[in-house]
Amino acid sequence: MGYLSRTPPHCNPIGTKWVFKNKQGEDGVVVRNKARLVTQGFCHKERIDYEETFSPVARLEAIRILLAFAASKGFKLFQMDVKKKEIYVRQPLGFEHPKYPKRVFKLQKALWRVYKTLLLLRHGKDLLIVQIYMDDIIFGGSSHALCSKFSEQMSREFEMSMMGELQFFLGLQIR
Q: What is the pLDDT of residues 53-66, one digit of tens each?
A: 333 346 777 788 88
Query: C-alpha angle with apex 13: 11 to 18, nearest 5 degrees?
Result: 180
Nearest to 174 by CA among 135, 120, 128, 138: 138
114 within 8 A of 57, measured Cβ to Cβ: no
CA–CA separation, 8 vs 42, rounded Å? 21
User: Residue ranges of the domains in the chain?
Assistant: 2-173
Whether the model pTM is above 0.75: no
- Mean pLDDT for 84-101 is 80
Tallying the residues shown for the chain, one arrives at 175
Express as a percent the part of the chain with pLDDT over 70.
79
